[in-house]
Amino acid sequence: MPIHSYTAHVQELEAFGMGYPLQGEARDRAVLGSWRRCIDQHRLDPSRTSEAHIVPAGQLRAHREESEPLIRIARSGLERLYQQLKGLDYVLLLADRHGVAVDFLGHDSHASDLRSAGLYLGAQWREDVAGTSAVGTCLATGEALTVHQSDHFDFTHTRLSCTAAPIYDLQGQLAAVLDLSLLRSPAARASQQMALHLVTAAVRRVELANLMAQSGSDWVLRLAQSPDFLDV
């Protein structure tokens, strides 16, 4: 799926909004659902571009304080995953249930580019603010997914490839989203299949760690088809 020109991107979104069949490579179901929400519910203009929205420092502090227990539990798992991907230029974002990035791991040397792209602390990725993105669409659907390059609604973000999975709390409520992103990636969407597998596996480990952290006074029965996975 090649990166579109601005004109081609806007034309595709406008044609989709008017109900015309899409030309070229088929889009993922979750992406099309997000495009429809962006046009019909959020009233976003396909021709309007916007740099990443970073919330003010005070607002970020409040979001981080609300998410502090989960950040603390997830941090070691995120660091392990980041080390596995070292050298591949991936950025890890942990976004809260409001779509704000409350933790991230990325190369310090790329800090300026990451902040500009929204792959940074305080970035707001809700669909009604940023359009179709992995974090925002994951929050809207509750599903693990990839939003690759021109899948993004806002042309500003079409160089990014982002893969996200939801983190659920013990009550079954969507508590956060773990996102694995690249500033630049191969054109083929299939190149992010491994990222989808890794982020989904990492989320399961975070959920298990959260369960164990909140079950200190309880007996926990673990079942697995293979004993090799009992300690995962």
Report yes or no on 173 lying in a domain: yes
Q: According to the model, what pLDDT value does residue 91 have?
A: 93
22 found inside a domain = yes
Say how many domains are in the chain.
Answer: 1
Task: Please tell me what DSSP assigns to residue 156.
Answer: G
Specify the pLDDT at position 230.
55
**Residue 189 neighbours by CB under 8 Å, 6+ apart:** 1, 28, 146, 148, 149, 151
Q: Residue 1 falls within a domain, yes or no?
A: no
Interval 77-105: pLDDT, tens:
888 888 888 788 899 999 999 999 999 99
Local confidence band at 1 (pLDDT 50, 70, 90 cut-offs):
very low
Tens of pLDDT along 152-177?
A: 999 999 999 999 999 999 899 999 99
Smallest CA-to-CA distance from 34 within 164, 130, 165 is with 130
Work out the pLDDT band at 226, boundaries 50, 70, 90: low
Q: Is the pLDDT of residue 30 over 90?
A: yes
Identity at 61, one-letter amino acid code: R
Question: In the predicted model, is pLDDT for residue 130 greater than 70?
Answer: yes
DSSP 164: E
Q: Determine the pLDDT at residue 93.
A: 95
* Host domain of residue 128: 6-229
**Distance, CA of 31 to CA of 137 (rounded, Å):** 8
Listed in sequence order, the DSSP H helices in 41-188 are 57-84, 111-117, 127-130, 134-141
Assign 181 to helix, strand or coil.
strand
At 194-209, the pLDDT tens digits run: 899 999 999 998 998 8
Question: Tell me, what CATH number does 22's domain have?
Answer: 3.30.450.40
pLDDT of residue 32: 96
